[in-house]
């Protein structure tokens, strides 16, 4: 080595590996309008399919007359359940072990339900034809209140399940009951609570909302009858799962189905499920022999595909008189809509709601979840969330606040004395999880200090005094949230979807000149996988991230994987990438040893090369090794440099964070202003700080929307009241607050690079921070609980009910 040789640090910097705020490779296309989203796909002879949808939430269908629609020039076919029945496709299995109508079979169960599928030459003819399909409905009594679903006289929604006393998750108590999922020791919990110094009780409702990505769901199905191959392009967060389900449903062998997720315009959980539009498009393509495109419009999207939340959570939390939490009891009434189509791992019908003990050392706990049917759309997806973790975090972060009120304690201090301590990790929770790592006290103290928590409390007290003197009409709320996520589903031993284990995968091929391509089983929807996975690999194999192409989403080329949702890409596929990289390195080491004429063990890895121990001038770079691997005969070693890894994670990862929101609230108008939002995230090893920060901004904005106004609201006869973006709240740049981001770094002990995932944390932790700020502003006036969303009239109502309007 001479003085001209770059140092290890210089070479590492050039790789743009872990920890580098690498600019995104995707952006060159996206900023120039050269993305390729599903609605951009155009094929010769392509037809357009769309649905006749039910205007009613519950009705019997007396008849469907398609004659007039069929007579319209340009209409190719109109499919109804009767047409799908001979194929056995008028119903389809859901991801949650239930079944769902593809097209209305005798009745409709929610507004916007798919009744008939019109196939026409273009969208315009299609829209005209939809108006010409005549459906004769007989209205039935509507059930929209989950809390009334199991009343003895509640209408029977699912006549198809008549007489069934058990479902996919055990016994059914009522015709509208889906399952009761229980975990923890109820008797022991009840006993602790009965004997406790202090018990706080509250019902916490996490309202129904919707992921509403800017791009709706859609697909293009193309059945090539000559070679028997079906190609399906679509907005799929889990393309491999779609392929398997499509094969099982259609009977087409899996090798004859190619599923491609092109660029996806945001997912947030909306694009995990399998929807009637996909099935109908496939059938339509098979029937017509032509490609068929189906794209939802925004109202369809909000009405029919993938709501989130809708959990009524009744809690009891007990503590000693000095604030040590002793027990937690939670019962949930879960509104699943008309079909149980939750996208949860099979063994977890309420997802990971059992993370509801949060960041706290709670010795005993119980969770029971009753899932019920109502006349609302099916879904129950994880909206920027790992399977009901948002609900769990909101529940515990509200219960802790309610307990603080009961104890007359500062809510930050109450959290501090109940946090799981650093020395308790790995920590076994009362509801069965093994938290892998954490350092909550450090994060909490850093957060409180950053916002000058004590100063804020003093300001708040002064404000209350001024308010009482009539000098101001604005209150100050300090919203606290310390959340623990559970992401990276998950270990195949307990995590599967429809029997498909939730591993993920990565395949790497190093090219002879030292660049590479890697393919993974996940699919980016804006998270920047093409950028960050290359960074993981760069650090593992010593090839610059700029020289590594990342491909995802094409089932013909990518290795099988379970897709992108639940913040699982980094914990699972990211781990697979690292492990595949290590396999490359292991082979590279053998090749280097041969080339350097030393023993394998005499080499050590140094950023981008193997160096002979004690002789730094003797080395082989990865580029040299790659070339040799293809072009030099090496005894006992196969040519080429490729690896594949299927990674089955040993545990989930448990990212956590401390969020604090400072909010001004006008008690007279119900308006608010977020003065400050501080977000500290600990997502373990940080792969790309720029992208992490972007994820936090975006997730916190979703949290802001959900907490402060975003709602999928229904009237009493099941009409969707928030079906357009006029009423479904998505804040603009004007309303959206600014965020300060911060971090601590506690690597996951079991993940190959210590990363935990971050995409969903800000939604999970942000919602309680915003909501608690609203509650906190009114705490001095006696508010205990008020349901989200905290839009203007609801905040006004809080003030009004507390007598603050004089």
Q: Which residues are designated catalytic?
A: 237, 384-385, 760
- Residue 587 has a CB neighbour count (10 Å cut-off) of 18
Residue closer to another protein, measured from CB, 46 or 161: 46
Q: How far is CA 170 from CA 86, 97, 165, 410, in A?
A: 30, 11, 9, 42
Q: Are 326 and 318 in contact (CB under 8 A)?
A: yes
Q: Which of 505, 527, 532, 569 binds another protein (CB under 8 A)?
A: 527
Q: State in angstroms the smallest separation of the CB of 805 from another protein.
A: 7
Residue 134 binding another protein, by CB under 8 A: no
Near another protein by CB under 8 A: residue from 468, 724, 782, 787: 724
Part in contact with another protein (CB under 8 A); list of ranges 10-18, 162-170, 521-529, 610-618:
521-529
Between 78 and 178, CB nearer to another protein: 78
- 3-class state of residue 507 by DSSP: strand
Sites for another protein among residues 343-382 (CB under 8 A):
none
**Least distance (Å) between residue 444 CB and another protein:** 24
Q: Nearer to another protein by C-beta: 381 or 652?
A: 381
Would you count residue 673 as binding another protein (CB under 8 A)? no
| CA–CA gap between residue 569 and residue 584 (Å, rounded) | 21
Query: Cα(first)–Cα(last) distance of the chain, in Å?
Result: 82
Surface-to-core class of residue 165, CB atoms within 10 Å of its CB (0-12 exposed, 13-18 middle, 19+ buried): exposed
d(CA 697, CA 718): 34
The span from the CA of 200 to the CA of 196, in Å, is 10
Rounded Cα distance, 662 and 474, in Å: 13
Instruction: State which of positions 15-74 bind another protein (CB under 8 A).
Output: 23-24, 26-37, 39-40, 42
Beginning with the edge strand found earlier in the chain, give each strand of the sheet holding 107-108 in spatial order. 107-108, 59-65, 134-139
Q: Whose Cβ is closer to another protein: residue 552's or residue 608's?
A: 552
- We find the least distance from the C-beta atom of residue 788 to another protein, in angstroms, to be 15
Q: Quote the least distance from Cβ 170 to another protein, whole Å.
A: 37
- Whichever of 191 and 725 has its CB closer to another protein, that residue is 725
Question: Residue 325's beta-bridge partner residues?
Answer: 319
Chain residues 732-761 in contact with another protein, contact rule CB under 8 A: 732-736, 738-739
Q: Kindly identify the residues of this chain, within the stretch 685-714, that bind another protein according to CB under 8 A.
A: 690-691, 693-694, 697-702, 709, 713
Print the SS3 string covering 762-792: HHHHHHHHHHHHHHHHHHHHCCCCCCCCCCH
Cβ distance to another protein smaller for residue 222 or 688: 688
Name which of 701 and 772 has its Cβ closer to another protein.
701
**What span, in angstroms and rounded, lies between the C-alpha atoms of 565 and 502?**
11
Strand order in the sheet with 656-666: 474-484, 656-666, 672-682, 740-743
When asked if residue 471 is in the footprint of another protein (CB under 8 A), the reply is no
The single-letter DSSP state of residue 597 is T
Residue 343 Cβ, how far from another protein at the closest point, in Å? 19
Query: Pick from 154, 142, 115, 114: which is nearest to 57 by CA?
Result: 142
- Tell me which residues in 223-252 interact with another protein (CB under 8 A): none
What is the token pair recorded at 275?
């929807």
Structure tokens at 310: 């809708």
Question: Among the candidate windows 124-132, 225-233, 419-427, 456-464, which touches another protein by CB under 8 A?
Answer: 124-132
Which one, 291 or 670, has the nearer CB to another protein?
670
What whole-number distance in Å separates Cα of residue 668 and Cα of residue 806?
11
Q: Name which of 700, 677, 665 is nearest 479 in CA terms.
A: 677
Task: Indicate the angle between helix axes 689-708 and 761-778, nearest 10 degrees.
Answer: 40
Selected range binding another protein among 95-103, 195-203, 260-268, 336-344, rule: CB under 8 A:
260-268
Of 770 and 796, the one with the shorter C-beta distance to another protein is 796
Distance CA 742, CA 748 (A): 18
Q: How far apart are CA 320 and CA 541, in angstroms?
A: 54
CB 344 within 8 A of CB 269: no
State the minimum distance, in angstroms, from the CB of residue 434 to another protein: 32
Q: Residues 85, 121, 128, 606: which binds another protein (CB under 8 A)? A: 128
Q: Identify the burial level of 469 via C-beta atoms within 10 angstroms of its C-beta, where 0-12 means exposed, 13-18 middle and 19 or more buried.
A: exposed
* Cβ at position 105, least distance to another protein in Å: 27
Q: Which residue, 518, 522, 508, 519, is CA-closest to 567?
A: 522
- Answer for which of 123, 406, 457, 582 binds another protein (CB under 8 A) is 123
Of 143-151, 191-199, 264-272, 391-399: span binding another protein (CB under 8 A): 264-272
Are 728 and 710 spatial neighbours (Cβ–Cβ below 8 Å)?
Answer: yes
For the CB of residue 779, give the shortest distance to another protein in the complex, in Å: 22
Q: How far is the CB of 653 from another protein (least distance, A)?
A: 22
Part of the chain binding another protein (CB under 8 A), chosen from 222-230, 338-346, 725-733, 746-754:
725-733
Nearer to another protein, 309 or 329 (CB): 309
Interface residue with another protein, options 124, 322, 449, 640 (CB under 8 A): 124
* Rounded CA separation 634/340 (Å): 57
Q: How many residues bind another protein (CB under 8 A)?
A: 79
Residue 418 CB coordination number (10 Å): 20
CB of 392: closest distance to another protein in angstroms?
A: 23
Which positions from 390 through 419 interact with another protein, judged by CB under 8 A? none
Q: SS3 letters for 729-751?
A: CCCCCCCCCCCEEEECCCCCCCC
Over the window 182 to 221, marking each residue x when it contacts another protein by CB under 8 A and - when it does not, the resulting string is ------------------------------xxxx------
Map the footprint of another protein across residues 291-330, applying CB under 8 A: 295, 297-299
Smallest gap from Cβ 573 to another protein, in A, equals: 18
Residues with Cβ within 8 Å of residue 703, at least 6 apart in sequence: 762, 763, 764, 765, 766, 767, 769, 770
Question: x/- string (CB under 8 A) for another protein, residues 766-805?
Answer: -------------------------xxx--xx--x----x
Angle between helices 575-596 and 622-631 (to 10 degrees): 70
Residues between 653 and 672 with contacts to another protein, criterion CB under 8 A? 668-671
Q: How far apart are the C-alpha atoms of 389 and 655, rounded to whole Å?
A: 12
- Interatomic CA distance for residues 486 and 354, integer angstroms: 10
Least distance from another protein to the Cβ atom of residue 61, Å: 22
Nearer to another protein, 31 or 557 (CB): 31
> And the tokens for 146?
């989950």
DSSP assignment, residue 107?
E
The smaller minimum CB distance to another protein, of residues 123 and 406, is found at 123
Among 56, 206, 268, 339, binds another protein (CB under 8 A): 268
Closest distance of CB 53 from another protein, Å: 13
Q: Does 498 bind another protein (CB under 8 A)?
A: no
Is residue 788 within 8 Å of residue 208, measured between CB atoms? Answer: no
Query: Could you say whether residue 725 binds another protein (CB under 8 A)?
Result: yes
Cross-sheet strand order for the sheet of 609-612: 603-606, 609-612, 615-621
Residues between 75 and 104 that touch another protein (CB under 8 A): none
Q: Which is nearer to another protein, 656 or 714 (CB)?
A: 714
Residue 527's Cα: distance from chain center in Å?
12
């Amino acid at each position: 080595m001479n003085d001209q040789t770059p140092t290890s640090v210089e070479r590492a910097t050039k790789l743009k590996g872990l920890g580098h705020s690498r600019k995104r490779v995707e952006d060159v296309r996206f900023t120039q309008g050269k993305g390729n989203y599903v609605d951009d796909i155009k094929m010769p002879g392509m037809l357009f399919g769309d649905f006749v949808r039910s205007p009613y939430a519950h009705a019997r269908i007396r008849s469907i007359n398609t004659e007039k629609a069929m007579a319209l020039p340009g209409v190719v076919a109109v499919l109804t359940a009767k047409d799908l029945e001979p194929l056995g496709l008028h119903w389809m299995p859901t991801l949650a072990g239930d079944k769902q109508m593809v097209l209305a079979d005798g009745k409709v169960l929610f507004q916007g339900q798919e009744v008939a599928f019109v196939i026409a030459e273009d969208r315009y003819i299609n829209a005209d034809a939809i108006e010409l399909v005549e459906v004769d409905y007989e209205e039935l009594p509507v059930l929209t209140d989950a809390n009334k679903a199991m009343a003895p006289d509640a209408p029977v929604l699912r006549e198809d399940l008549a007489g069934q006393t058990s479902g996919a998750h055990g016994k059914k108590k009522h015709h509208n009951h889906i399952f009761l999922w229980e975990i923890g020791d109820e008797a022991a919990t009840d006993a602790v609570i009965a004997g406790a110094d202090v018990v706080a009780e509250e019902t916490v409702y996490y309202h129904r909302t919707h992921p509403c990505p800017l791009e709706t769901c859609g697909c293009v199905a193309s059945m090539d009858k000559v070679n028997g191959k079906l190609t399906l392009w679509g907005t799929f967060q889990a393309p491999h799962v779609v392929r398997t389900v499509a094969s099982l449903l259609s009977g087409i062998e899996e090798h004859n189905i190619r599923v491609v997720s092109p660029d996806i315009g945001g997912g947030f959980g909306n694009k995990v499920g399998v929807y009637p539009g996909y099935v109908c498009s496939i059938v339509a393509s098979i029937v017509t022999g032509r490609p068929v495109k189906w794209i939802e419009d925004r109202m369809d999207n909000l009405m029919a595909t993938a709501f989130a939340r809708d959990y009524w959570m009744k809690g009891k939390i007990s503590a000693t008189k000095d604030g040590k939490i002793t027990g937690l009891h939670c019962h949930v009434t879960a509104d699943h809509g008309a079909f149980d189509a939750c996208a949860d791992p099979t063994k977890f019908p309420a997802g990971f709601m059992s993370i509801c003990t949060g960041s706290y050392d709670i010795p005993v706990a119980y969770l029971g979840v009753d899932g019920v049917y109502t006349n609302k759309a099916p879904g129950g997806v994880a909206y920027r969330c790992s399977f009901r973790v948002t609900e769990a975090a909101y529940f515990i972060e509200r219960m802790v606040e309610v307990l603080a009120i009961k104890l007359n304690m500062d809510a930050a201090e109450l959290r501090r004395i109940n946090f799981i301590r650093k020395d308790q990790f790995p920590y076994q929770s009362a509801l069965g999880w093994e938290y892998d790592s954490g350092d909550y006290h450090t994060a909490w103290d850093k957060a409180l200090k950053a916002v000058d928590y004590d100063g804020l409390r003093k300001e708040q007290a002064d404000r209350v005094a001024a308010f009482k003197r009539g000098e101001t009409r604005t209150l100050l709320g300090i919203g606290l949230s310390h959340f623990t996520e559970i992401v990276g589903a998950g270990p195949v031993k307990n995590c599967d979807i429809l029997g498909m284990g939730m591993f993920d995968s990565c395949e790497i091929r190093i090219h002879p000149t030292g660049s590479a391509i890697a393919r993974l089983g996940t699919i980016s929807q804006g998270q920047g996988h093409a950028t960050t996975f290359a960074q993981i690999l760069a650090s593992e194999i010593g090839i610059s991230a700029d020289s590594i192409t990342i491909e995802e989403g094409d089932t013909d080329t990518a290795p099988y994987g379970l897709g992108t949702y639940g913040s699982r890409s980094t914990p699972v596929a990211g781990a697979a990438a690292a492990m595949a990289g290590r396999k490359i390195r292991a082979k590279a080491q053998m090749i280097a040893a041969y080339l350097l004429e030393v023993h394998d063990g005499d080499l050590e890895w140094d950023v981008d090369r193997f160096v002979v121990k004690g002789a730094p001038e003797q080395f082989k770079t990865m580029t040299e090794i790659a070339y040799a691997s293809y072009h030099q005969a090496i005894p006992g070693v196969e040519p080429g440099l490729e690896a594949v890894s299927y990674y089955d994670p040993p545990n989930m990862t448990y990212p956590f964070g401390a969020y604090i929101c400072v909010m001004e609230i006008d008690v007279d108008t119900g308006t608010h202003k977020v003065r400050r939002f501080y977000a500290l995230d600990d997502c373990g090893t940080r792969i790309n700080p720029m992208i992490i920060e972007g994820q936090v901004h975006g997730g916190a904005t979703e949290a802001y929307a959900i907490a402060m106004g975003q709602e999928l609201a229904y009237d009493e006869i099941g009409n969707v009241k928030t079906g357009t973006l006029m009423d479904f709240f998505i804040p603009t740049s004007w309303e959206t607050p600014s965020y300060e981001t911060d971090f601590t770094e506690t690597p996951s002990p079991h993940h190959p690079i210590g990363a935990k995932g971050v995409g969903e944390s800000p939604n999970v932790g942000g919602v309680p921070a915003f909501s608690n700020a609203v509650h906190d502003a009114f705490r001095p006036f006696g508010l205990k609980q008020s349901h989200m969303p905290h839009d203007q009239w609801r905040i006004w109502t809080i003030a009004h009910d507390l007598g603050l309007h004089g």
